[in-house]
A and B are shown apart, each in its own frame.
Chain A
Amino acid sequence: DAKTTQPTSMDCAEGRAANLPCNHSTISGNEYVYWYRQIHSQGPQYIIHGLKNNETNEMASLIITEDRKSSTLILPHATLRDTAVYYCIVANQAGTALIFGKGTTLSVSS
C-alpha cells in the first residue's frame, strides 16, 4: 500500500502558485520523497525528490517538514499545461519500485 496521503483534487488559477500537500507520517529515515505527475494517458513524469532538505529545480520546489512527516510540492507559476495527476511517493534512494497512491488531480484554469 502507498505510504502517502494526498487530497483527491485541487484547483489553481493560471499564473498563481500551486501548493500540493502530502502526508507521509510513516516514512523511514532512509526513504526519500518523490513527486511525479501524469498528464492524461501519458507515462508519469519525474518532477523532484528529496530526503530532508528543501529542493528546487526548474520545474518545482519541494518543501519537507523538519519531522519529515509531510511535504509540499510548489509549482511557482502554474500554467494550463500543469493540469495533471500529481503523485507523492516514498521510496528508497534508487527511486525504483515505486508504489503509487491515488494522487492529486490538479486543475489549472485561466
Chain B
Amino acid sequence: KAGVTQTPRYLIKTRGQQVTLSCSPISGHRSVSWYQQTPGQGLQFLFEYFSETQRNKGNFPGRFSGRQFSNSRSEMNVSTLELGDSALYLCASSNSDMGQVFFGPGTRLTVT
C-alpha cells in the first residue's frame, strides 16, 4: 500500500496570503488528522476529520481550517498568513479502530 502523501512538499508564501495544503491518506483510511511542528512549540494537533466531518479540534485560531472529501482526501487552509505560521505541517491517516496513525512526510511552509 502506498503511504500517506502530502503536496506540495515545500512552499514559500508571503505574509497576508493564504495557502492550501493537500493530503491523500492510505487507501481505506477514513480518519485524517493534521499537525503543526515548529521548533518552539513542537508538534501540535490541529484537527481531525472522519468521514468528511471534523471530529476533533486543537487550539488554533480560525485562520486554520480544513475539510475532507468523500474519497477521504483532505485539505487544510491557512488564511492571512503570519510569520509564525512557518512550520512543518504533517498529515496522518488512520483506520480508526487500529489505534495507530501513519504520518506523511509533511509540507514545509515558509512565510516571508
**Contact (A96, B42) CB under 8 Å given A42-B105, A43-B103:** no
Interfacial chain A residues near B98, Cβ < 8 Å: 95
A41 touches B99 (CB 8 A): no
Q: How far is the CA of A93 from the CA of B96 in the complex (A)?
A: 9
A53 an interface residue at 8 Å Cβ cutoff? no
A46 touches B105 (CB 8 A): no
B100 an interface residue at 8 Å Cβ cutoff? yes
- B interface majority secondary structure: strand
**Contact (A96, B103) CB under 8 Å given A41-B88, A44-B43, A102-B42:** no
Interfacial chain B residues near A45, Cβ < 8 Å: 103
A95 touches B99 (CB 8 A): yes
Interfacial chain B residues near A46, Cβ < 8 Å: 100-102
- In the complex, how many angstroms separate the beta carbon of B41 from the nearest chain A beta carbon? 10
Q: How far is the CA of A44 from the CA of B103 in the complex (A)?
A: 6
B48 an interface residue at 8 Å Cβ cutoff? yes
B99 touches A49 (CB 8 A): yes
**Contact (A49, B45) CB under 8 Å given A43-B92, A97-B56:** no
Per-residue 0/1 for B43-81: is the Cβ within 8 Å of any A Cβ (1 yes, 0 no)?
A: 111001010000110100000000000000000000000
- In the complex, how many angstroms separate the beta carbon of B95 from the nearest chain A beta carbon? 10
- In the complex, how many angstroms separate the beta carbon of B85 from the nearest chain A beta carbon? 18
Q: How far is the CA of A95 from the CA of B94 in the complex (A)?
A: 9
A100 touches B43 (CB 8 A): yes
